[in-house]
Chain A
Amino acid sequence: MVSGVSTPVKLENETAAVIPMPARAATSIHVDGVSMCYPLAKKKQRTVLENISLEIEDGEFVVLLGETGCGKSTLLRMILGQERPTSGKIYVSGKAVERVDARSGYVPQKYSLFPDRTVLDNLTMGPETSKYHILGRMLPGFRSFRKQVREEAMRQLEHMGLRPTDAGKYPHQLSGGMQQRVAIAQALMMKNRVLLMDEAFSALDPATRASLQRLLKTVWNESKPTIVFVTHNTAEALYLGTRLIVLARTSHEDHCGSKVALDMKLPGNDDGMSLKKNGQEFLDLVDYVERFSRGSRHDDQALDETGVDGEEEAV
C-alpha cells in the first residue's frame, strides 16, 4: 500500500528543466537545481541543500518534512526570497525569486504578528500598505478604503474563529494559538496564491495544534491556495498535506547536503489521514516516512527506535 502512494516525480522535473521557464500556468513554485552552502571557518563550507529540483503545482498542499538541520526551513526561506541559493533558481508564479515580495504569504513560527498593532490593524496592514504606501496614507481615498478593509478584516477574523472583541487586542494579550490564527488571517488578507508556513504550529500545545490544523485544512479546501508547510512532525504532515516531500542527508560529510529523500502524493481529501481514521495504515505510513527522513542513519538507529515518539496525539 505504502509504496503505491509514492509517485516518481523525477521525470516531471526533467521535463521542466528542458523548458527554461515553467510554461504551464498550473506551476506555482518551480525549484530548479538549487543548492545552498554556508561558509565555515578555514575555507571549508557546509552544504545544506544539494541540487534540489521541485515542481509544485497550483493548489497543492506541500508538506516539507525532515529532521532538525536538514535544510527544510532554508528551502522555504529561499522560496520566500529571504535567502539566495548558492546555485540554481527558484520561480514563484512564473517569475524568478530575487527578493522578498508580496507573491507569497508567510506565517513563521514566532514573531508572526506585529506586536505594536492591534489584531485588526495587523489584519488591515497588508491591503493598506499594498495600496497606499507610507505617504499615500495622506491621500483622500485612504479613509474610505480603510473602512472597507476593516469590514473585510472583521469577517476574516470571525471566519478564523476569533471573537469581534479580540479585534482591539494586542498580540501579547492573545494565546499562542490565537496569534497563529491571526497570522494566517493576516496572510490570507493579501489573497495571494502562495502561502509559506515555517513550523507554524510547532510551538503550540497538542489540542490547539489540532484545532489549527483543522482550520488550515478548511482554509485550503475553500480557496485551494498553494501551501508549502514546513514541519518536523510526521503525523502533522500526513494529516495536512496532499504531497509530502522528505528532505534528508545521505551522509554526514560537510560537502553532502540534503536531498529529496521521498516525494509522494497523499490522499489529502477534505480531511487528511489520521491515526483515528486510518489506524494501522497510518502507523505504517509514519514508519515508512520516518525511515526516509532519518536518511543515512536509519540502519544504525533501527535498534533504539522508540516508535514514533508520541507526536501523533497531536492530530
Chain B
Amino acid sequence: MAYFSPFDVQARPNRLLTQALSCLLFVICIGLYMQTSINRHKENPEDRVTPNAAQLANGIHASVFEPAEEDDYIPADDASKWERFKHSMIVKDTVSSGRRFLISLALLIPAVVLALHIGLFPWFGAGFLRFVLFFDKIVALSLLPILFIVFGIDEWSKIALIVIGVAPTMILDVTQMVKAVPQEQIVKAFTLDANNFDVAYRVVFRQVLPQVINSLRLNLKPMMLFLFAGEMIAASDGLAYRIAIMRRHMGMDVILPYVLWVAFLLFAIDLSLRVLNRRMHPWFQA
C-alpha cells in the first residue's frame, strides 16, 4: 500500500492516474456548484445567485448577441448573427478593456528600454535606480485619486494606473537581468569593436529579451488587476465595469461567463507570448 501513499516523494503514479487526479478538483468544483444550484432552485426557481445551465445559456446569449445599453446601436431584428455579435455587449467591453490594456503594454516598452540603460550604463544607474526603487514601494492604487485629478476620470487615468503599477517592478526586474549578463559578453563585444549602442541593443538587449518577455508574462496578472481596479471605480464600459454593474442586480448569469472569458483571454495572451518567445529565441533555454 505504500506504493499509493501521497507522501511518497519517490512514487511513480502512472499516466492515466496522473491525468485523472489532475481533473479531480475541476470535477469536484463543478459538482459542488451544480449541487448548490439545484438545491437553491428547489427553494426558489428564480434564484439568481447560482444560475443553472439554462440561465447561464441565456446570460451567455445575451452578452454575446445583445447590445449593452439601450442607447447603443441596435442591429435590426433580421440582422445576421455576425452583425449582432459585432455590436454585442461582450465585444464592446472586450474592445474597450483591450484597448486600455494594449496601450499600457505599449507604454511599458520605453520602461524596458530605460531599464536596459539603468542596468548597463553607470550614469543612468546612478540617476534612476534609487528613484525607481523608491517609486516601486508606492502602492499604485493609493495614487488613484491623484490620477483621477490629473488625468480626469476617462481613459488615461486607468492607463496611467496600470503603467505606474507595473512599470517600476518591471524596470527593477529587467535591470537585474541586464546586470546578470556575464561581463565577458560585454568585454568580448567591445573587443569586436562594438560601440556602446551595439553593446546595449545588439548584445545585451537581444540576450535579455526572452527573459523580458517572461517577466511580462508574469506581470500580465498585475496589469489586469490594475485595469480592473480602475474600471470598477470609474468607467462606462469594459469587462470589469460590466462585472461590477451586474453585481448590482445579481446578474451571476453574466458575471460567471465574464470571469471565465477574462481568464481565457489572459491565458491566450500568455500562451501566445510563450509561443512567440520560443519561436523568436530558439537558443533560449529555461
Chain A residues proximal to chain B, CB less than 8 Å? 80-82, 99-102, 104-106, 108, 110-112, 114-117, 125-126, 129-130, 133-134, 170-172, 186-187, 190
Contact = CB atoms under 8 A, between A and B. Distances in A.
B197 A134 contact: yes
Contacts of A117: 283
A106 B182 contact: no
A126 B192 contact: yes
Nearest to A137: B202
Contact of B207 (A106, A110, A116): A116
B44 interface: no
Contact of A110 (B184, B187, B198): B184
Give the interface SS of chain A, mostly helix, strand, loop or mixed.
loop
Q: Is the interface of B mostly helix, strand, loop or mixed?
A: helix
Contacts of B283: 115-117, 170-172
26 contacts: A82-B187, A99-B190, A100-B191, A101-B190, A101-B193, A102-B191, A102-B193, A106-B184, A106-B187, A111-B184, A112-B184, A114-B185, A114-B207, A115-B207, A116-B281, A117-B283, A125-B192, A126-B193, A129-B193, A129-B195, A129-B198, A130-B192, A133-B195, A133-B197, A134-B201, A190-B192
Interface in B190-222: 190-195, 197-198, 201-203, 206-207
Size category, B interface? 20 to 34
A190 B193 contact: yes
Contacts of A106: 184, 187-188, 191
A111 B207 CA distance: 12
Given A129-B202, A134-B201, A170-B282, A112 B191 contact: no
Contact of A134 (B188, B193, B195, B207): B195
A114 B192 CA distance: 12
A202 B191 CA distance: 21
Given A134-B197, A134-B198, A134-B201, A80 B207 contact: no
